[in-house]
Amino acid sequence: MEPQITPDAARSALADVDRRRRAVIGEVDIPQWYWSALAIGWIVLGVITDLAPSWVTTVATLAFGAAHSTVAPRVVSGRHATSHLSVREDVVGKRVTALVLGGLVVLAGVTVGAALAARADGARHPVTMASIPVALILVLGGPHLLAGVRRRLARAER
């Protein structure tokens, strides 16, 4: 015969499960180094575009894209923020990857638009000027994006 579980023991067990789920949701993140490296690369590409010949810009853009496509599949999912825990895909979903990559496409468009506007205004280094605010958006906005994802996941778990 199995022992009876008291209501207090059941509540305590459910509270423990809830606490552990919140801890796992708290692990959904993208490492800060990703946002910083992306921002630095964005600015470097802007400087290269303004100062170097077009063939150097092309090679640098391809190298940056290749490096990002090597790192992004593991990092951008939000499932591997630290080395001590990997969050299951069914907890996170594919939304984080879509948000991050969609955001990068939008920021690329913002960079191009701002650079064209700065160039039309006669700026000497329009792409660099356009890249700096976008880099700040990456470094400051990226973590906020993931905080919103964590809040949404926590609400969905209730």
Residues 137-158 have pLDDT tens digits of 999 998 888 778 777 777 766 5
- Domain enclosing residue 103, as ranges: 7-157
- Report which of residues 6 and 127 the model is more confident about: 127
pLDDT at 87: 63
Sequential DSSP letters for the chain: -PPPPPHHHHHHHHHHHHHHHHHHHHT----HHHHHHHHHHHHHHHHHHHHS-HHHHHHHHHHHHHHHHHHHHHHTTSS-SBTTB---HHHH-SHHHHHHHHHHHHHHHHHHHHHHHHHHTT-SSHHHHHHHHHHHHHHHHHHHHHHHHHHHHHHHH-
Residue 138 resides in a domain: yes
In a domain, 72, yes or no: yes
Output 155 or 26, whichever has higher pLDDT. Answer: 155
Q: pLDDT for 58-103, tens place per residue?
A: 999 999 999 999 988 888 776 655 666 666 666 666 777 888 889 9
Predicted pLDDT of residue 90: 63
pTM: 0.77
Assess if residue 2 is contained within a domain.
no
Question: Total domain count for the chain?
Answer: 1
Look at residue 1 and tell me if it is in a domain.
no
**20, part of any domain:** yes
Average pLDDT along the chain: 84
- Higher per-residue confidence, 144 vs 116: 116
User: If pLDDT is split at 50, 70 and 90, which confidence band does 50 have?
Assistant: very high
Task: Please give the radius of gyration of the chain, using alpha carbons only, rounded to the nearest integer.
Answer: 21
